[in-house]
Amino acid sequence: MSPKRIEPFIPLLSLLFALVAGSLIIAATGSDPLAVWQKMARSTFSSGYGSGQVLFRATTLIFTGLAVALPFKLRLFNIGGEGQLLMGAFAAALSGIALPAGTPALIAVPVLMLAAMAAGGAWGLLAGWLKVSYGVNEVISTIMLNFIALGLVGYLLTNHFAIPSTVHTAEIANGGILPGFDQLFGLNWHSPANLSLFIALGVTAGAAILLYRSRYGYAMIASGLNPDAARHAGIATNRHILGAMALGGAMAGLAASNLVLGYKHWYEAGLTSGVGFIGIAVALLAGANPLWIILSALLFAWLDYGGLAVNTMVPKDIFMMVQAIAILSIISFPAIFRTGLKKR
């Protein structure tokens, strides 16, 4: 088979490879891989609660994956999803608290979501502005902004907004709460999955349209592929850097709709727990293509929650290794096939 023909199957091949490698590692710890995979499948696919958990986690990862994927089209590496999400989640919680108790959902939900997008977007824009104005590499600035966000939010929470002797804020106004799956579909899953999943799917479709069907996306992708040619074509490449970083930040901020509006209904310390960073992996596995991000997020969510479910049999860390192996192989497989074919 020629390399061109193999290319579409590379994600699948690398996934397969990662699962095989994971099985070997599981076997090496003394457990039966087949039994582990079976238990994982049973506790996710055939359990309402498990499925809900997977969907809930996937929702967050879709947002944080998009946060990496959009700037990636401009060859910008946004490592700041975690910080942007922190800012967004905190902003959403604070606006939810500030809203009067009786605010209807039709107003409260959009207000909270806009607050999350604005805060996350501003945090991303800051990194973009540092790059455009002072040439600061966005990898460095977004990492540093993660620390600043963590410190800032931590300080404000502890000293001003936390309910005494807890690590969380007060609850947001009732109107700002997004219904869970149980309420929406009359289920009995008791899982944290909520309406945000559909918001995530809608936003992903929007991102795909923006990138591949709009003039903005045409100019943005051109700026990423060949900045000099884009400048010659009258495209303001710097403005696209600002735009992409702000959009990416807003995507990360939007994950607050899942965590705050749909799940906790407040902000609490440790709410984000590194999902911003897993977003990088989600975007890489999907080749930064918005539509693939949905599948990629589902996979990572499945390994994440499934790993928890079989915690009694094998350590969860093994599934982190499977995730990492999947990414490593998706990056290296194309090169391996190319050189392998050349040698023949």
Partner 1 sequence: MATAVKLSGITKQFGHLKANDGVSLTIEAGTIHALVGENGAGKSTLSNIIYGLLHPDSGTMEIGGKAVNFSSTRQAIDAGIGMVHQHFMLVPTLSVTENIILGKEESRFLLPGKRLGTEIGKLAGQHGLEIDPDALVSSLSVGQQQRVEILKLLYRKSNILILDEPTAVLSPPETERLFATLRSLVAEGKTILLITHKLDEVLAISDAVSVMRKGRLVGTVQTVETNKEELARMMVGRDVLLRTDNPEQAPEATVLSIDKLRYVSPQGIEKLRGLSLTVRAGEIYGIAGVEGNGQSELLSLLWGTFDRDGRTEGSIQINGKPALGLSPAEIAGLGVSMIPEDRHKSAIVAEYGIAENLILGRHREPAFQRGIGFDRQAIRQNAATMTERYDIRSSAPNDNPPIGSLSGGNQQKVVVAREMERPDLKLLVLAQPTRGVDIGAIEQIHKRIIDARQKGLAILLISSELEELIALSTRIGCLYKGAIRHEFSADEVRRGREHESGFEQEIGLHIT
Q: Which parts of this chain interact with partner 1 (CB under 8 A)?
A: 2, 209, 213-216, 218-219, 222, 225-226, 228-236
Cα–Cα distance for residue pair 79/67, rounded to 1 Å: 9
Minimum gap (Å) between residue 244 Cβ and partner 1? 17
195 or 219: whose CB is closer to partner 1?
A: 219
d(CA 34, CA 108): 48
Tokens (6 digits) for 31: 């457990």
Instruction: Report the nearest approach of partner 1 to the CB of residue 132 (Å).
Output: 13
Alpha carbons 257 and 115: distance in angstroms, whole number: 10
Amino acid at 321: M
When the beta carbons of 183 and 214 are compared against partner 1, the nearer one is 214
Nearest distance from C-beta of residue 136 to partner 1, angstroms: 18
Q: Residue 201 CB, nearest distance to partner 1 (Å)?
A: 20
User: What is the closest distance, in whole angstroms, from the C-beta atom of residue 235 to partner 1 in the complex?
Assistant: 8
The alpha carbon of residue 62 and the mean position of all alpha carbons in its chain are separated, in whole angstroms, by 5
Q: Give Dmax (Cα) for the chain.
A: 71
Least CB distance to partner 1 at residue 232 (A): 5
Distance CA 230, CA 211 (A): 16
Would you say 149 or 222 has its CB closer to partner 1?
A: 222
Over its C-alpha atoms, the chain yields an Rg (Å, rounded) of 21
* Residues listed for the chain: 344
Q: Is there a contact between 32 and 331 (Cβ–Cβ < 8 Å)?
A: no
Residue 233 Cβ, how far from partner 1 at the closest point, in Å? 3
Residues 307 and 320: their CA atoms lie apart, in Å, by: 8
Rounded CA separation 311/185 (Å): 30
**218 closest CA partner among 228, 206, 210:** 210
C-alpha 287/C-alpha 225 separation (Å) is: 15
C-alpha to C-alpha distance for 25 and 319, rounded to whole angstroms: 10
DSSP 8-class letter at 29: T
Angle at 234 between CA 232 and CA 240, to 5 degrees: 105
C-beta of 229 vs 331, nearer to partner 1: 229
Residue closer to partner 1, measured from CB, 185 or 216? 216
Q: Closest approach of Cβ 239 to partner 1, in Å? A: 11
Token pair 């590496």: residue = 77
Residues 96, 120: Cα–Cα separation, whole Å? 16
> Which of 228/339 has CB closer to partner 1?
228
Residue 247 beta carbon to partner 1: minimum distance, rounded to whole angstroms: 15
Nearer to partner 1, 20 or 209 (CB): 209
Nearer to partner 1, 3 or 179 (CB): 3
Q: By C-beta, is 3 or 151 nearer to partner 1?
A: 3
Instruction: Mention every residue, 6+ apart, whose C-beta is less than 8 A from residue 144.
Output: none
